[in-house]
Amino acid sequence: MSVPKDHPLPRDPARPHVDPEHARHLLHQMLRVRRLEEECVELYSAAKIRGFLHVYIGEEAVAAGVMNTLGPEDAVVATYREHGHALLRGVSAGAILAEMYGYVQGCCRGRGGSMHLFDAATRFYGGNAIVAGGLPLAVGLALADKMAGRRRVTVCFFGEGAVAEGAFHESLNLAALWQLPVLFCCENNLYAMGTALVRSESQTDIALKAAGYEMAAWSVDGMDVLAVEETARRAVDAVRAGGGPHFIELRTYRFRAHSMFDPERYRDKAEVAQWVERDPIKTLRTALEAAGQLSEEQWRAIGQDVDAEVKAGVEFAEGGTLEPVEELTRFVYSERSPQ
């Protein structure tokens, strides 16, 4: 399958109005996600992480660009491919990895694992293994904020596979009807597990689908972190100002298979290689170097900082402990009040 014509071509990220220090910050954020995910692959291969594992490699520009526009009061709802979202929202690498190890020191006491990261302190509400399962939750969070008169934004990430689910249409419809403060972010990586978008949707312009629910909707190059941030900021500001729900289709690509169990027989290697050439980290780094805004020393310092963070996270997780057997029913059954 070739890259759809409606997927945008890469743009030069070295825009003259972008502050070089800020661009280096975004580069740092993307590299944090990349290195954490690469470490997860290694740990999974060593059988230290079990169960399902879906990595975000290739899509880092989406999380880095959107998360940078949010405040601590905002809420984030994500999918099962959420390690990068959690990390950039403020959940530590140690808490994330300990959760995947199944240890009580994890952000969910080891009960959630890779697909169910959650952290109330950072208002990160999942992590959801059900396709489109996060959309109704985001609508509920946004409704609560509107009813309470709070100037918050709820951001909901989901893949293009969610478009085929009824929850997608129900959520967008209610959000538009009630003019809720929610930003829907569709991470369109072209494949819902192994099903190509063109084989499941007669209309592949997902932003156009969202516009049908009478909400502002845009498509953006999800491989360009600066374009993502620019578009997300415009949408977040509009939502916070009372402009109702907004929708962004982020046209991106995952470089690895759907999950660690996926034999990946549904897409051509040439197609993957074509998208790898648009690696968002490589693209931004190259542009900054060409503009004289990133020295070899600066790049090395970024890498060293990220490596130290991931190493510390692994050490924290390795030192974790399993939950005591006598506490396994905790949070499962409620305590009956005395009569």
DSSP string, 285-296: HHHHHHTT---H
User: Is 0.75 surpassed by the pTM of this model?
Assistant: yes
Strands (E), 150-307: 154-159, 182-188, 191-192, 195-196, 216-221, 246-251
Q: How far apart are CA 193 and CA 196, in angstroms?
A: 8
pLDDT of residue 15: 54
- What pLDDT, on the 0 to 100 scale, is given for residue 39? 98
Q: What pLDDT shows up at residue 2?
A: 34
Whether residue 61 contacts residue 30, with contact meaning beta carbons closer than 8 Å, is answered with: yes
Identify the H or E element spanning 77. strand 75-77
Which CATH fold would you assign to the domain 20-89+122-306?
A: Rossmann fold (3.40.50)
pLDDT tens, N- to C-terminus, the chain (339 residues): 333 444 443 444 445 468 999 999 999 999 999 999 999 999 999 999 999 999 999 999 999 999 999 999 999 999 999 999 999 999 999 999 999 999 999 999 999 999 999 999 999 998 999 999 999 999 999 999 999 999 999 999 999 999 999 999 999 999 999 999 999 999 999 999 999 999 999 999 999 999 999 999 999 999 999 999 999 999 999 999 999 999 999 999 999 999 998 888 999 999 999 999 999 999 999 999 999 999 999 999 999 999 999 999 999 999 999 999 998 888 887 776 665
The helix/strand/coil state of 81 is: coil
Given this model, what pLDDT does residue 6 score?
43
CA–CA distance, 5 with 206 (Å, rounded to integer): 14
Domain ranges across the chain: 20-89+122-306
Tell the residue number behind the tokens 């909707």, with chain if given: 217
Contact 80, 54 (CB under 8 A): yes
* Residues in Cβ contact with 296 at an 8 Å cutoff, skipping those fewer than 6 apart: none
How far is Cα 93 from Cα 178, in angstroms, rounded to an integer?
Answer: 37
- Cα–Cα distances (Å) from 308 to 243, 282, 315, 332, in that order, read 42, 21, 11, 37
Per-residue confidence (pLDDT) for residue 5, from 0 to 100: 41
Q: Are 98 and 77 in contact (CB under 8 A)?
A: no
